[in-house]
Amino acid sequence: MKEEKLQMKTQLVDEIKEKIENAESIVLVNYRGLNVEEVTELRSNFREKDVDYKVYKNTMMRRAFNELGITELDELLKGPSAVAFSNDDAVAAAKVSAEFAKDHEKLEIKAGIVDGKVIGVEEVKALAELPSREVLIAQVLGGLNAPIQGLANVLTGNLRGLAVVLQAIADKKEEEATA
């Protein structure tokens, strides 16, 4: 019986480690004081953004983080803790957490992890202010398109000017020929 329990705990730690390794970013929150409806709303918000929101025992999370060499979170893994794993969009977990915390003061952001580095509450909030990946890609593409469009306008402007000058010369020659 004891061996089965140990095996289950080991599997759970391995599951948490896998989620940590596959995540673009992670946000650790304290959900103490939220009622069932609020927690359900929070879970729904995370689900909409494809963020995996889980509540694990602190000892299991601590062990998984420590096995991956992340010891900075040990002090924060006290009290009710939940973790949000963002696998596709690095800002999604931070954005959902920060927006929800604005309306629900009881949700406390404890810390985050981006690219394997632990970040504090202020950095998580700053991360939440960044535009989503799709918006950033659109901005980059717009920035790349602007110089090309400007070059095209300059070139067509020069060609248009040349056409006007040639038309004026042709009109003048025609007038001289008729006069």
For the segment 4-60, what is each residue's pLDDT rounded down to a tens digit? 888 898 999 999 999 999 998 999 999 888 899 999 999 999 999 999 999 999 999
Range of the domain at 25: 2-130
103 plus 144 within the same structural domain: no
Count of structural domains within the chain: 2
Classify the C-alpha dihedral 10-111-114-42 as positive or negative.
positive
The pLDDT of residue 92 is above 80 = yes
Same domain, 8 and 46: yes
136, containing H or E segment: helix 133-178
CA-closest candidate to residue 90, choices 26, 28, 21: 26
Look up the CATH number of the domain holding residue 6. Answer: 3.30.70.1730
